[in-house]
Structure 1
């Protein structure tokens, strides 16, 4: 982890990506060159993500510099390792064995551990159990929305459904907002409603 203490002054020093000395922001605690945002040569240095977009990977090389900038949203300094583009290696191609291994791993995430069925979506990490099996094992709440569909027994009787609909309609009527005044050229005017006779 790179830590900066105080403000960094410009420093003219030799750098690995150029024969000439260049201005940097000094050295980090571990001896890596520090660069502030916008000072590194984009054609010679890149982050891992930028290398990946170019179809390259670092290939075992250590970072030659650390880019730092202030993230305004997080209100903190953010650091990114920079690698030499000329020493980067191409990304390894996807072999049939690797593709088969990835397909097997993704299928394992979608397969229920209880019934063995493979679904279309990834199951939750806790248990990797589908919803019908969760209900059968007693892990699904009886008041859950799936109760009626999975067990085939209704949670409410006819009177319960009527009471639920009545409560929902009464509750929604109280929540409908009143029309707010809108601004028209700086003055407040109320909306006019068109009523049919």
Structure 2
């Protein structure tokens, strides 16, 4: 029995260490200049506070198309965003009717404090360069008025945003609304994800 307890404790310690390593992935080491990368930044829908982000690496591709795979929540649904050209996942999360779903991919985001900040914010892209990821939002009472300026202001001071925009200044900025609670959903549980491509 003592051996099993020791193995259980060791296993939990190893799991905590690996999770801690993943959670503390050095956002300051974001390098959009090498490889095919996408930056995912989470912004609270109600407060417009930046809540963390993740740089994702993909196979090489000449173009960037986001394809949603949406399962409408009868009781339980989901939304997955695929990088169409590589058939790889950018985002995956559940949606619960009269409940609360959760993001499953990426499994973790780097904390806001792990992102290097700059003194002067990156200018907001033109409205024509901001694209909503549309995945059938009609059944979740999507907020039709979006304050692009407030969403952009929450991430414009990040060095990673400056780097991505400098490398690919003509890239579209994708805005994706993740609403894990619908029906009598609470917008305080919803988040914007700003998606930038290098």
Q: TM-score, normalised by structure 1?
A: 0.22
Looking at secondary structure, tell me which structure has more strand per residue.
2
Q: TM-score, normalised by structure 2?
A: 0.22
Q: Looking at CA atoms only, which structure, 1 or 2, has the larger radius of gyration?
A: 1
